[in-house]
Amino acid sequence: MVSRVIPVKAFDLVVFGGTGDLARRKILPSLFRRFVAGQMPDNAYVIGVARSEFDTNGYQDLVIAALQEFEPELSASGELKSFIKQIQYVQIDAQGDLGWSDLAGIVRKDAIQAFYFSVSPSLFGPLAEKLHQYSISSKSSRIVLEKPFGRDLNSARALNAVLKEHFSEEQIYRIDHYLGKETVQNLMAVRFGNMLFEPLWNSQYIDHIQVTVAESVGVEGRGSYYDQAGAMRDMVQNHLMQLLCLIAMEPPAKFSPDAVRDEKLKVIRALDPINSKDIVRGQYSTVGTEKGYLEAVDNPSSKTESFIALKVQISNWRWAGTPFYLRTGKKLKARCSEIAVVFKETPHSIFGPDAGSHRNALVIRLQPDEGMMMDLTIKEPGPGGMRLIDVPLDMTFAEALGPEIGAVPDAYERLIMDVIRGNQTLFMRGDEVEAAWSWTDPVINQWVSKGTSPVSYDAGSSGPEDSMMLMHRDGRKWREIS
Ligand code: NAD
C-alpha cells in the first residue's frame, strides 16, 4: 500500500520563534519530511522569524544543524540542499518595530499565508497587532497558536478577545498536537467507518474507559514553566480532554470542522463537576541519585502535581453510568499513551463459574508503536475442560500497512499541512478551549483555596498507590503501564 501525497498550493509559512526549541525539534523537521514526501511545492517558503541577529545564510545553517540532529537519516540525502533554498529569515522584535517592514516586503500576497506563533503566549496579542499594523496579514491569512492557550478561563477569554480583534475564528488554528496523531484520527475512523463498534459504543455495553498518558521523563528543562502549570493544566485540560471528546462524542453529520467541533463541545458541556474524592494528585519523589520533583523545579514548597488521576462522568444518554478514568504523569515506569475501552461481561456465562470473568477491551495505542488491539476471550487450548483465556488481536500500523506506506507521520506534519489546506477539523475552536477551562477551573481553585498537597510517588513507578485505589474501590483496575 502506498501513501498518496497531494502537493499543497504555494504558501509562505512565517514561523515566529523560528530559532526556538519547538521550531528546531518539531516544526522544521516536519516541513522537511513533507518536502521530501513531495507535498511542499517549489514555490512554498518557510520564513523563520526571531529576535536573534541572523541573515538568511546564518539561519539556514541553524536549520541544517537542527535537521541533522532531529532528522539525521533524511538529512544525509541530497534533498536537504533543495529544501534549504526555500528557507528565509527575518530578525524581528515582536514588541517593537524592528524587522516588520522587512517581513512585509517578503510575504507574498498571492500565496497562502500562515503565521505560526511558536513563541510565549504573552506575544500572541502583540504579533496579531503588528501583522495587522504593517498590513502583512489579510482576510485569508491563517494564524497557528501553540499551547498553553491560557492558564484559566479568564486568561483564555482575554487571549481569544485579543486575537479576534484582527482575525476571525476561521483564521485561527489552535494546535493540540494529540489531534494530529494518526491513531487519534483512527479512533474516529474505527468508530464511524465500521458497523462493528458504534452500536455497542454506549453505557449499555461499555463498562468503563481508561485513558493513560504516561511519560518516563521528568520536567527536564521546563521546570519553571511546569511548576506554574502542573498536570491538570499541562495535560488534562487540553490533550486528555480532546481524547475524551473523540471517544465520547456523538457521530457528527459529516467530517467537517464545525460538525466535529460542535459534537466535542457538547461532551465538554455534559461533564459532571468532579468530586474531590475522584481525584488523585501526585508528585514524584527522589529515588537514588535522581532528582525528585521539588528539586527538579527548585521549589521545596511546591504543591504542583506531576501526576493526576481522575474519575470523570458524562451526564448524557449515551454515557450515564460509564465512568472515564484519566491519568497522566511524569517519571512513570514507561512512556505509554493509550485508550482502553473496556466492555461489560456477557450477561450470563454458559461455561460456569470456573470460566472466570472476562471482558473484551479495545485498546488504541498512541505511543509507542501506534496501533490497535482487541482483547478477545477464547478457549484455552488443550483437552482439559472449557477454560477461557483472553488473547490480544494485535495490529501495529507499521506492520499492518506494510513498509511502502512509510513511517507513521508526525502529528505536526499532518497539522501544518492542514493549516495550509485550510482545514480546521483537527484544531480546537475558541469555545471548546473556554468550555474546557470552565470545567477545570473550579477543581484547580479548590486545591488552591484549601492548600492541598499532592501525595508522593516513587519515580519509575505507576504513580501513587491512591490512584490504584481510585479503580480498586470500583472493582476495576488500570492496565499496566508498559
Ligand atoms: P523557546 O524559548 O525555545 O523559543 C522562543 C522563541 O521566541 C525564540 O525563537 C525567540 O527568539 C523568540 N522570541 C522571544 N521573544 C521574542 C520577541 N520579543 N520578538 C521576537 N521573537 C521572540 O520556546 P519554545 O520551546 O520553542 O516554545 C515556543 C512556544 O511553544 C511556547 O509558547 C511553548 O509553551 C510552546 N510549546 C513548546 C513545546 C516544546 O516542546 N518546546 C511544546 C508545546 C508547546
* pLDDT confidence bin for 380, thresholds 50/70/90: confident
Q: What residues are annotated to the active site?
A: 239
Give the whole-angstrom CA distance, residue 300 versus residue 78.
51
What is the CA(15)–ligand 1 centre distance, in A?
Answer: 10
- What's the CA gap between 131 and 251, in Å, rounded? 38
List pocket residues of ligand 1, CB cut-off 6 Å: 17-23, 50-52, 92-95, 118-121, 123, 146-147
Tell me how far the alpha carbon of residue 359 lies from the centroid of ligand 1, in angstroms: 46
Q: What 3-state class would DSSP assign to 332?
A: strand
Ramachandran area for residue 451 (φ above 0: left; ψ -120 to 50: alpha; else beta) = left
The alpha carbon of residue 299 and the mean position of all alpha carbons in its chain are separated, in whole angstroms, by 28
**pLDDT of res. 123:** 95
- What's the average model confidence in pLDDT over 431-437? 98
Question: Which residues are CB-contacts of 165 (< 8 A; sequence separation ≥ 6)?
Answer: 128, 129
Which residue's CA is the closest to the ligand 1 atom numbered 37? 22
Q: Hey, what CATH class is 11-146 in? A: alpha beta
Instruction: Please state the pTM of the whole predicted model.
Output: 0.94
High-pLDDT (> 70) share of the chain, %: 98
CA distance 65 to 75: 9
User: Residue 2 pLDDT more than 60?
Assistant: no
User: Would you say residue 371 has pLDDT above 60?
Assistant: yes
> What average pLDDT does the structure give for the chain?
93
For residue 228, report the distance from its CA to the centre of ligand 1, in Å.
17
Check if CATH label 3.40.50.960 holds for domain 179-410+429-472. Answer: no
DSSP 251-274: PPSSSSHHHHHHHHHHHHHTBPPP
**Taking the domains of the chain in order of start, what are their residue ranges?**
11-146, 179-410+429-472
